[in-house]
Structure 1
Amino acid sequence: MIVADAKPFNEIEQMLSGCKKVYVVGCGSCVTICHTGGEKQVTELAAKIRLASKLKGKPVEVVEGSVLRQCEWEFIEETKNVVEDCDAVLSIACGIGVQYMAERFPNARVFPGLNTTFMGAPTEQGVFWERCAGCGDCIISTTGGLCPVSRCAKSLLNGPCGGSQNGNCEVSEETPCVWNQIYDRLDAQQLLSTMENIVPPKDWRTGAENHPRKMVLEHLVMK
């Protein structure tokens, strides 16, 4: 899932400067799971905006809302009347949701309330780790189901680098060395010999560097 973190409140205040009526809208998908853009966070952020603006003597009317997915037209369509009645939209969805709101309502001022960080998964309550870099050329079939592109600080395709200590990355002691994990996984699967195969340099044009990317499902496209 896409993981995002809340923007500093002073940055949000600056974006909303001069606005008298703001629509704070959350998303019921990824950012709800990572506790940054769900209905609870909409309520908390709306209350914070009201209080801060009141203390400054410039009260802001805040409308609260949430949709199942801001990244799909049919779900954000239901916000049309509210958006048109407000000075600005503060979207606490991922960057995709914010852009979709801005595309659907081009006359509205749409601001991001979150910083989109990575694609990851919860490893324990309240802790999320990056698991996929969206490189467009998945190789985890040869690395025991573990991604060295996103989970190695150096994105090594042929590891380990030799700098890890006690199973942890030399770049960050809090980060497990994924190549150590790959070794253990392949050893348990009796597939250590696959590490002897040299992976050629990666074609990074399949990844985020070659943007914007596009995928077309031919069987769903209207001819």
Structure 2
Amino acid sequence: MRMIRILFLVVSILFSSSNALTQDFCVADVKAVDTPAGYPCKNPAHVTAEDFVFDGLKMSGNTTNIISAAVTPAFVAQFPGLNGLGLSMARLDLAPKGVIPFHTHPGASEILVVLRGAITAGFVSSANSVYVKTLRKGEVMVFPQGLLHFQLNTGKSHANAFVSFNSPNPGLQILDFALFANNLPSSLVGATTFLDLAQIKKLKGVLGGSG
């Protein structure tokens, strides 16, 4: 009986503390510095309905670039009302043969919903197992947090999709850019990837790297 009373007291304290710390929202003050804990809260007196609305996903992104694709983010930096809510979105636009290269989101899992066209998507597990599927309108695929994944337009027309994340700031690292768009010496890239030095220098030239 005494143990039950102690457990009841502990649970009561936990719930009362949790409720005391709960607030409806914490709209990001994006003029302040972002931290691992997120942005500080905007003064509630200055919060408006516009903080909870984002219209950037209604327009197609510009796909006239090296990957023939565009990503339009609706992360906390663009959409301050997401701060602290554990979610965000983005829009993908891919011209024919357009590709979102192998990349990871260190801070979130991702779910993709195809709106138009045919998108071949896949990811590689930490055991190097590969999971690939060609998705069409209305089909959905999930990409677990931190795993390398990609999307490729394998249809003959423009394709687009919405993706959502379980973080207001999922993070992004694109493998090709991590390897070839910086000043890491080409000799080190070659030694760690087994790629030909001439090919490495060519890719660095294309992606703006040096070394």
TM-score normalised to structure 2 length: 0.22
Q: Which has the higher strand share?
A: 2
TM-score normalised to structure 1 length: 0.22
Q: Which has the higher helix share?
A: 1
